[in-house]
Amino acid sequence: MVRERHALLAEGGFKGLNPTSKDKRKVRPSPATANAAMIVLRILIQFAADEFRLGDGKSLITDNPVDAMKRHWAPAGDRKGRYIDKRKVGDVWNALHAERDKPMAVASLAGLDLALMLMLTGARRMEIAALTWDRVNINHSDPAQCWFHLPDPKSGREVFLPLSRQAVGILEGRMRVAANPHVFPTRSKAGHIGDPRAPFDLISKVAGMHLSAHDLRRTWTNIAMRECLIEKFRTDLLTCHVPSHADTTARHYLDLKKLDWLHPETQRVSDWIEQAGKVAAGANVVPLPQRA
């Protein structure tokens, strides 16, 4: 049963649809999701085996059925190598904006804006998707004081991250919904957008490869370090990575909570993306200086 379910997930995507069934929903293979699902199942069953015991002290569960997956895991490929090629960044940027200009439902527009914000910030999907207006600050008189607040990111370190001019423009274009504090609201139980498929289908089509929200994070990092020549330490801070042990001085003496001092770096990446869009559209623009 474990192997069968894994195969359905690997071949039929998140819903686990059988590619040969009469279900007309779009089937998208997802080997990484299949592997992750079975890993979670294995952990849960192992927890139950440790927690629940019979009267003689023996475990209620003697065998973990996920052990049957040995030598049967799906090859997930090199996920770390997935990001938008720099020659396609401008095309993706323009495609998202072109789609955004069409009349559409509120949730569809929220999905496109979410994708654009991920391109401009390098943040994790849920860090932006669950953003609330009380954690956003926009100050036109001082661009360095435009930021968004993550009280409990994955790194465990509270941080105020700078917003570029382009990101502020996206946020200012968002419509505030009464009684919903979220920047990207929906009618779902969570109150905010989750994992919209349409924008990433568009991104994947334009980029020429299947890409996820996390791949936009990799794209931002590649642009920051390879195209804008921003040093790794600053890139790590802007993507909420914990500074390495080698950065002892920075970890103990620099302000790693309020990163307004890194606003120039954030703006440099956004300017590069915007210029790539202009170049892709055929505009004759002056190359941006690449300096750390």
Residue 181's contacts (CB-CB under 8 Å, 6 or more residues apart) are: 132, 133, 134, 191
Q: What's the confidence (pLDDT) of residue 12?
A: 80
Q: pTM of the entire structure?
A: 0.74
Q: Any bridge partners for residue 192, and if so which? A: 185
The per-residue pLDDT for 23 is 62
Residues of the chain with CATH 1.10.443.10: 82-280
Per-residue pLDDT at 156: 79
> pLDDT value at position 26?
64
Closest by Cα among 292, 115, 100 to 193 = 115
Per-residue pLDDT of 159-192, as tens digits, reads 999 999 999 999 998 878 778 899 998 888 888 9
What was the pLDDT predicted at 238? Answer: 95
Burial (CB count within 10 angstroms: exposed 0-12, middle 13-18, buried 19+), residue 184: buried
Q: What is the pLDDT of residue 292?
A: 44
Q: Which CATH architecture has domain 82-280?
A: Orthogonal Bundle (1.10)
The whole-number mean pLDDT for each consecutive block of 10 residues of the chain, a chain of 292 residues, reads 89 69 66 86 91 86 90 70 91 95 85 96 94 95 94 87 96 84 88 88 92 93 95 92 64 80 96 95 72 47
Q: How far apart are CA 141 and CA 168, in angstroms?
A: 13
